[in-house]
Amino acid sequence: MSQDQLIILRNKETGEVYHTRKNKRKVERKIELMKYSKALRKRVKFKESKK
């Protein structure tokens, strides 16, 4: 069985969120991804946050 967990990626500036999955066994640190922000209309950094 896989160890995937549903996580929330949140942008600090706008508060927008993306939902994705992360394998807790392989990735121990918090995820930071560049995603498109609809409010800012550009790619910005989204960081993993608590639910």
Q: Residues 33-41: contacts with CB within 8 Å, 24+ apart?
A: 33/9, 35/9, 35/11, 37/11, 37/13, 39/14, 40/13, 40/14
CATH code at 24?
Answer: 2.20.28.120
pLDDT for residue 17 = 97
φ/ψ region of 10 (left if φ > 0, alpha if ψ in -120 to 50, else beta) reads: beta
Instruction: For residue 35, give its domain range.
Output: 4-49
For residue range 15-36, list pLDDT tens digits in order: 999 999 999 888 889 999 999 9
pTM for this prediction? 0.82
pLDDT for residue 1 = 58
Q: How many domains does the chain have?
A: 1
